[in-house]
Structure 1
Amino acid sequence: MAVATRTVGNSHSHVEMLIPCVQEMLSATGASLPDVERICIGVGPGPFTGLRVGIATAVTLGQVLDVPLHGVCTLDVIAAQWMATGGAPQEFVIASDARRKELYWARYSDGRRAGEPQVTDPARLPHEPVAGPGVDVYPELLGERRPADAPCSVDAGFMAANWQSIPDAGLAPLYLRKPDAELPSARKSALNGRHRRMRPARHAVEQAGRPTTIRQATK
């Protein structure tokens, strides 16, 4: 089995760089797209844009090439990497950067995820050994809890080579947050407020149109 990994530092060029990177890696191993037999894709947790681009690309390639897809939680991949070293503790946490002063994280017992991934303030992580890229974001809080052999990032080559041992997470993206932009639940009519503002003027007109009775005082 040939394994090739490529890391792209610019996180704002997903669309432009993803397919060229795939083609370059295949070329480096002497293969091409028609040689692909299966696609393994990380479904998060992560930011909206990156997940949308990655999953949409994987699904499109899967349909074009007529190959099966296997979605995995990226936190599970890092946990599997640590378990593969033989040095992972029985209980541990995997954390990654969620921005907005928060972390994505999940707790593991004997290499198996205990519950669903979370997104919280870093201070709310369980007090157990921690691995993953989230540690580097908050080294003053988590640095002392990362053992020397703990993985610091996702290894895509490991994921590709060991996809069968990583639980299938489906293809639905794990956003864990509500989108920043949402459609309004109901449209507000500008006429309602306008009618309220016009009532005093309308009342004055109606009053002006009414006949006025003038009584003359008798001496």
Structure 2
Amino acid sequence: MTWLGIDTSGDVAVALVRTDGTSRTVGDDAPRRHVEQLAPFVRDVLAAEGLGVGDLQGIAVGTGPAPFTGLRVGLVTARVLGLALGVPVWGVPSHDALAAAAADVLDEGTPLLVVTDARRREVYWTAYDVRDGAAVVVGGPDVAAPADVPRRTGEVVVGGGRDVHPEVFGAVETPASDRAAGLRAPDPALLVRLAVARSAAGEPLPTEPLYLRRPDAQPPTARKRALA
């Protein structure tokens, strides 16, 4: 079986995952080019494996948290593909993929914080504990100014928000940090891994987006009539 993973919560990334666990991922970190890049990435990753969209058995898509426009591109693409092909579309929080990658290399009981850029001098954050080799949510997801994000002693911080605000999130260092230092963006192959496991366990996998705040662009409010 073959699954497609899509994440547009930050960078644009697409992965093709087979039943045997092998995967191929393509992506780019060019900002705000989600519409132009996503469809070609899907085409390219399938072509590289000699497959077409008709070979897909399911699609996993990152649900954020992330800004409105980029996240919407991935979710809409996944839903349209799923509807056209008649295959399931599973939603997985994008932070969970980052946390799962960190849990693979961190020790049992390690406190973990995932932070990604929310713009407006804010970050999206989710707190986890590493338990039995998995990342378990213990706080969030939420959006806040970096200085207002709850911190824990000895935690490991991963995600692109650390690069944007190193004066805040570079402050807590542990030996485990070195093993997770390169984790900056969600791997869509891990979205597939999580989706397949959660689906098998009967967990709900909604594709509703985690915007956590209203979009930047808002329709103008109605003008008040002046009294005659």
TM over 0.5: yes
Name the structure 2 match of 1:13: 33
Q: CA deviation at 1:159?
A: 2.4
Take 2:151 and 2:139, find their aligned partners in 1: how far apart are those partners?
A: 16
* TM-superposition CA deviations, 1:155-190 (whole Å, max 9, x none): 12232344334675511111111123334565522x
TM-score (norm 1): 0.79
- Contact 2:63/2:94, CA 8 A, preserved across alignment: yes
Correspondence for 1:155 among 184, 187, 194: 187
Q: Give the Cα separation in 2 of the matches to 1:143 and 1:88.
A: 22
2:209 paired residue number: 173
Query: 2:144 corresponds to which residue?
Result: 120
SS of 2:24's equivalent? coil
TM alignment of 1:125-144, pairs within 5 A:
125-128=149-152, 129=155, 130-144=157-171
Which one of 106, 125, 134 corresponds to residue 126 of structure 2?
106
Relative to its length, the structure with more strand (as a share) is 2
* Alignment check: 8 A CA contact 1:72 1:168 kept: no
How far did 1:52 drift?
A: 1.1
Counterpart-to-counterpart distance in 1, 2:205 and 2:148:
25
Deviation, structure 1 residue 55: 0.5
Q: Greater helix percent: which structure?
A: 1
Question: Structure 2: any 5+ residue segments left out of the alignment?
Answer: 1-17
Aligned to 2:90: 70
Mark the CA change 1:174 to 1:101 in structure 2 (over 3 Å): closer, same or farther.
same
Q: Distance in 2 between matches of 1:29 and 1:161?
A: 19
- The equivalences for 1:29-108 within 5 A come to 29-87=49-107, 89-108=109-128
**Larger Rg computed on CA atoms:** 1
How many residue pairs get aligned? The number is 192
**Shift in alpha-carbon separation, 1:84–1:113, aligned structure 2, 3 A:** same
**Range that drifts further, 180-189 or 142-151:** 180-189
Q: Could you list the runs of 5+ residues in structure 1 that have no partner in the other structure?
A: 196-219
CA distance in 1, matches of 2:112, 2:97: 14
- State the AA in 1 paired with 2:25: T
Name the structure 2 match of 1:217: none
1:71-97 residue CA offsets vs partner (Å, 9 max, x unmatched): 011111111111122436432211111
Residues 30-55 of structure 1: CA deviation (Å, up to 9, x unaligned): 21100010000001100111111110
| CA shift in 2, pair 1:75/1:88, >3 Å | farther
Residue 218 of structure 2 aligns with which residue? 182
Quote the RMSD (CA, aligned, Å): 2.1
The percent of aligned pairs where both chains have the same amino acid is 37
